């Protein structure tokens, strides 16, 4: 069959992402963000995000089509993130995608946001080796997955039991008076410092779950260390705290991902999600994968954060695999489990 042209909608958080993908080829990736409206609150406000999606939706679709040199009549299928994410934000995207699919008379695919973070790598590095291990690290999720077949078979091996890695970055950034979101400023500050402070590595004991994460204790340890230094009148080196915190997160993430590959006899690891843009995570993952004989795949930084291209990429994979499209009554599921690739 000819490679389908898929229009993808992503609205799970604060980014309105519209992507156009033909087969495994990215044609356009238009993005509108409401991040500036959330900064003063120190986190994403769901109601503000939902209203911003409403305002940005149609102009962003038009921009994606213009960038691709395509018309709506060229679209063969529509894909949309139907979960997990913020309920109100998801509903805007699902409603828009259903309207476009109905008007165009094309099939609609409601897809899993986390599986889409894995699928986006195929736009840059070709078809994913199957099976692969995938590690997804973002503001809302930190998971290790076994992926025998991205179109229909994804198994969760482990996940965070409290804070996601990106959430910990945001909270530590607040402690250090760095801007929101915390990932990029901590990454930049860490490059000027040394990882000289021994912060804890959660769930790394011999009896702890092999693939689960915990970052809440680390976040608290950083906050208490900073408070103690300030109470004693000691200067706090933001770069050193940032580097030490970042090293603790990266150490645990990469060690568990490599262990999952070894334990399951899998020699391909893909890392996705917003935290995958972190320079230290990318460097340490490459070092440890090289040492273990594992092929590492990480999307370019712009495709790690939420975008419409990743949704279109997974939609394209589903169309080409012959997976049945979603029903017209497709809804949003804020806690959609990772083993449900499409619904």
Q: Is 170 annotated as a binding residue?
A: yes
Q: Is 306 annotated as a binding residue?
A: yes
Which residue pairs from 215-222 have beta carbons closer than 8 angstroms and sit at least 24 positions apart in sequence? 215/142, 215/160, 215/162, 215/163, 215/164, 215/165, 215/167, 215/168, 215/249, 216/162, 216/163, 216/168, 218/168, 218/245, 218/248, 218/249, 219/163, 219/168, 219/171, 219/172, 222/172, 222/175
Q: Is 117 annotated as a binding residue?
A: yes
Q: Is 187 annotated as a binding residue?
A: yes
Q: Is 140 annotated as a binding residue?
A: yes
Q: Is 264 annotated as a binding residue?
A: no
Q: Is 250 annotated as a binding residue?
A: no
Q: Is 267 annotated as a binding residue?
A: no
Contact 169, 180 (CB under 8 A): no
Q: Is 298 annotated as a binding residue?
A: no
Judge residue 250's burial from the number of C-beta atoms within 10 Å of its C-beta, 0-12 exposed, 13-18 middle, 19 or more buried.
buried
Instruction: Identify any residues that bridge with 19 across adjacent strands, giving them in sequence order.
Output: 8, 29
Q: 3-class DSSP state for residue 267?
A: coil
Q: Between vectors from CA 327 to CA 326 and to CA 329, what angle results, nearest 5°?
A: 125
Q: Is 138 annotated as a binding residue?
A: yes
Residue set of the binding site for substrate: 136-140, 170, 183, 187, 278
Residue set of the binding site: 113, 117, 136-140, 170, 183, 187, 278, 306
Residue set of the binding site for Fe cation: 113, 117, 306
């Amino acid at each position: 069959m000819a490679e389908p042209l898929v229009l993808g909608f992503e609205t799970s958080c604060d980014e309105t992402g519209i992507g156009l993908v033909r087969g495994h080829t990215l044609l356009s990736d238009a993005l509108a963000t409401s991040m500036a409206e959330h900064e003063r609150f120190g986190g994403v406000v769901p109601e503000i995000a939902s209203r911003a999606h409403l305002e940005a939706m149609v102009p962003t679709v038009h921009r994606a089509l213009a960038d691709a040199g395509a018309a709506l009549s060229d679209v063969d299928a529509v894909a949309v993130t139907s979960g997990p994410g913020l309920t109100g934000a998801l509903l805007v995207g699902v409603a828009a995608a259903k309207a476009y699919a109905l008007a165009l008379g094309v099939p609609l695919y409601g897809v899993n946001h986390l599986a889409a973070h894995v699928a986006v790598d195929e736009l840059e590095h070709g078809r994913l080796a199957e099976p692969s291990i995938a590690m997804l690290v973002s503001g809302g999720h930190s998971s290790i997955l076994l992926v025998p077949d991205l179109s229909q078979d994804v198994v969760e091996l482990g996940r965070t039991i409290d804070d996601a890695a990106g959430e910990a970055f945001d909270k530590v950034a607040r402690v250090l008076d760095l801007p929101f979101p915390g990932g990029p400023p901590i990454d930049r500050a860490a490059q000027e410092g040394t990882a000289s402070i021994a912060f804890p590595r959660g769930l790394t004991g011999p009896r702890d779950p092999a693939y689960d994460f915990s970052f809440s204790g680390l976040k608290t340890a950083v906050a208490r260390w900073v408070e103690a230094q300030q109470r004693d009148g000691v200067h706090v080196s933001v770069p050193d705290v940032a580097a030490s915190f970042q090293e603790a997160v990266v150490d645990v993430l990469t060690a568990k991902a490599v262990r999952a590959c070894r334990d399951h006899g899998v020699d391909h690891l893909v890392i996705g999600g917003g935290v995958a843009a972190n320079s230290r995570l990318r460097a340490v993952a490459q070092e440890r994968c090289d040492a273990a004989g594992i092929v590492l795949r990480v999307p370019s930084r712009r495709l790690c954060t939420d975008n419409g291209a990743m949704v279109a990429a997974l939609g394209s994979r589903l169309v080409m695999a012959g997976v049945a499209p979603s029903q017209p009554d497709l809804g949003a599921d804020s806690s959609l489990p990772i083993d449900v690739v499409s619904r």
